Structure 1
Amino acid sequence: MKKNTEKTVNIWDRLRQSDGQSAVPTDQPWPKIWQGAEGLGQDFEPDVEAGLKRLKAKIHAMPVAGARIRRLTPLARWTRTLAAAVVAGLLGWGIYLLVQPATPVATWAEITTQAGEQKAVVLPDGSKIALNSASSLTYRTDMNEAAERQVQLIGEAYFEVERRPAQPFKITTRQAEVEVLGTSFNVRARAEETTTEVEVTQGKVAVHHLIRDEKVVLAAKEAVLVANDQPLVQETSPHLNRQAWRTGRITFRETPLEAALPLLEHYYNVTITWQKSAAPACSITGNWQNDSLTEVLQAIAAYTGITVKQLTADTYQLSGICK
């Protein structure tokens, strides 16, 4: 290629030495163009990667027609962030519900007694219950696994509760809730009555008035009367015959006959009628242990001087004047 260059230079020299009538302009850089073409015959390897980078840089630098840049306000950014958080929270809660084991549904069992019938019941936790006549007891069958041992009572029952400090035992009636850790007590909540009576034999219980939102703690040999809309009435000397249905003992101490007869009716499941004018001021005193109604009425007749007559198998009539 060097020879070609030398020839080119010689040609241009000859042209300059001519008579100035050359057809090729002498002010053009033809020698340089000729020299630049010197390497065209050699091997050429382009740098493709570098070329692509330069092309991309130029494309990004070019303005886009009609494009506008939107800047989010703080409120818009906060709204989008909150929406994303809510969606994430809902998804997380849904996954949590899917993986959580299903909560077992509590099952209840009911034990009832007919008029004149009594039953001894042992609950799943080992607590013992004497259920009086015409009563209903409902309890949770899974009480051993539950946080609270729950029962519902309509009627009357005597409880001997297994002590479990971490698992309270609760009895619910229409008027009250009785809570105990371990003790013995009697609860009376008859369907035909508007009161709940609680009497403690040993230990302590808490009685909550569900209607008036009052609460009292009872110790042994204490009782309380819970009426529908009345304040709690606490007794320090329990009723002599409140647990007669369970113990079989009936005790009267100068008790007005008018107050004694309803207890006898309930205890023996009978009806006793009498004329109040026939015995305006009768009172009775005596103790009976597992005696028949006939024996009790005969003793009352001998004590007061009144007459007792049996009308039917379960109906009695009192008449006469007390002596």
Structure 2
Amino acid sequence: MDRNLLVKYLEGLTSPEETAKVEDWILYSVDNAQVFNRIKTNLAIGSLGKTPSEMEKDETFQNFKAVHLKEGKAISSKWTPLLRYAAVVVLALMTTFLIYHGLGQKEQLIVPDNAITLKQEDGSIKVIDEIGNNNVQDGTGNIIAKQIGKSLVYSKDAANSKLEYSTLTVPYGKTFEVALSDGTYVHLNSGSSLRYPIQFIEGMKRQVFVQGEAFFDVAKDSLHPFLVSAAELNVRVLGTTFNVSAYKEDEVTEVVLVEGSVSLFSNSNGDDPIKNTMMEPGYKASFEKIQEGIKLTPVTTDVYTSWRQGELAFRNMTLENILKKLERHYNINIINMNGSVSKKRFNANFGNEPILSNVLEDLKRNYGIDYKIERNIITIY
């Protein structure tokens, strides 16, 4: 089936003959319906009217599955227009159900690019609906956390003696919060991920792994140090508040300490107290990934944590890095054709949840750049 025709169908632009052709093709097999659903998801056209759990209880869905999904059986195209439309809708819903819940072990989740996801120890992936309230279950069906809107809250289970990890991934353009089982609070910025135990085990250190940017408010526990591993840099704390930025594409990993105290060490040095770098509140530690050196600089910490309130603020930052942060914040692509200003450093504060066009106009007015917008791509001149 021609992809352009499927897109045309999704946009409601097909002729009666083309509509019949597409719907016959969708109804012919589950494989065809999966292709249709994948294109529909990628184009972000429409939304499903029912959740998978509601779908499973739906009598129409069950009857349709029982009659038309027997192995090797194609679906007849001799439908009235009304029945044809109903069948397409039901089969699209059914395909999504199969994709999300698995048809045996071979089916894989099709994840939209802009979805927040939770990958669990058994490899299963859950798409997080930011406006939903749901329970998160482990592989055996036990409730291990509750999702309330844009936050995920884990409860402590003293009986749990097995270390199992989950990975929370936040795409560009979004943020998300998680409260770990020990009470530690983590706020993930756009384009970031956190790998963490669903339960911290008595007698073992508390260790999590972060890529991207995250704000930590670590629960105090003198018997169980908290370790944040961010690429090649590690942050060791007992109970404190700090921000860490460790994006893969950035040359520098940064830690800004708001309260308490932390010690820093690289993977190459190991957790050797003699080689650790101690930090005090009000300082930023910059770790050069290539040279593996740590530099401490006094800073105004609010500038580095203001992203939690949706603010965009930069201090002594190169335009190159500012553009990277804009890409993450707005989920856009920026091409910089003005190499003469890439390494120049700027101070900027765009306020709370600024409109992208206003940000670009401010950059143009104050820093002498020009830009062009084409769909999701911005070119800087």
Q: Indicate whether the TM-score tops 0.5.
A: yes
Alignment pair present for 1:209 and 2:266: yes
Give the number of the structure whose alpha-carbon radius of gyration is greater. 1
Normalising by structure 1, we get a TM-score of 0.58
Distance 1:311 1:132 in 2: 26
Report the Cα offset of residue 104 of structure 1: 4.2
Unaligned runs of 5+ in 1: 1-102
The residue that corresponds to 1:95 in the other structure is none
Residue 20 of structure 1: aligned partner: none
Alpha-carbon distance between aligned partners in 1 of 2:290 and 2:380, rounded to the nearest angstrom? 35
1:289 aligns with 351
Matching of residue 155 in structure 1 with residue 218 in structure 2? no
Which stretches in structure 2 are left out of the alignment for 5+ residues? 1-159
How many Å separate the matches in 2 of 1:149 and 1:230?
28
Deviations 1:67-118 (A, max 9, x none): xxxxxxxxxxxxxxxxxxxxxxxxxxxxxxxxxxxx9432222222122221
2:361 maps to which of 287, 298, 302: 298
Change beyond 3 A, Cα 1:180–1:301: same
Q: Does 1:117 align with 2:174?
A: yes
- Given the alignment of the two structures, is residue 261 of structure 1 paired with residue 318 of structure 2, yes or no? no
Matches within 5 A, 1:63-82: none
Is residue 2:291 matched to residue 1:234? no
Name the SS of the counterpart of 1:155 in structure 2.
Answer: strand
C-alpha distance in 2, partners of 1:306/1:256?
A: 14
Residue of structure 1 equivalent to 2:194: 137
Matched-pair contact (CA < 8 Å) for 1:212–1:231: no
Secondary structure of the residue aligned to 2:298 is coil
Look up the match of 2:67.
none
Secondary structure of 1:294 counterpart = helix
Counterpart residue type for residue 117 of structure 1: K
Distance 1:111 1:157 in 2: 12
- In the alignment, the residues of structure 1 paired with residue 361 and residue 229 of structure 2 have an alpha-carbon distance, to the nearest angstrom, of 40
C-alpha contact 1:156 1:188 (8 A) present in aligned 2: yes
Is the counterpart of residue 186 in structure 1 residue 248 in structure 2? Answer: no
Contact 1:184 1:202 in 2 (8 A): yes
**RMSD between superposed Cα atoms in Å:** 3.0
* TM-score, scaled to structure 2: 0.50
Cα distance change, pair 162–252 in 1 and its aligned pair in 2 (3 A):
closer
> Deviations along 1:15-34, whole A, 9 cap, x unmatched?
xxxxxxxxxxxxxxxxxxxx
**2: CA distance, partners of 1:229 / 1:318:** 28
User: CA 1:311 to 1:122, structure 2 compared with 1: closer, same or farther past 3 Å?
Assistant: same
Q: Is the 8 A contact 1:158 1:184 kept in 2?
A: yes
Aligned equivalents of 2:261, 2:336: Cα separation in 1: 41
Query: Secondary structure in 2 aligned to 1:243?
Result: helix
Which of 173, 187, 205 matches 2:230? 173
Pairwise CA distance, 1:302: 2.2
- Which amino acid is 1:288 matched to? F
Task: Give the fraction of aligned pairs with identical amino acids, expressed as a percent.
Answer: 29
Would you say the 8 A contact 1:178–1:208 is kept in 2? yes
State the AA in 1 paired with 2:238: L
2:263 match: secondary structure = strand
The 10-residue stretch of structure 1 (226-235 or 215-224) with the greater mean CA deviation from structure 2 = 226-235
Q: Answer whether contact 1:283 1:304 (CA < 8 A) is retained.
A: no
| Gap change, CA 1:253 and 1:114, over 3 Å in 2 | closer
- The aligned counterpart of 1:200 is 257
Output one character per residue of 1:201-255: Cα deviation in whole Å (capped at 9) or x when no partner: 1111111111134410111111222334524322223488543532433335676
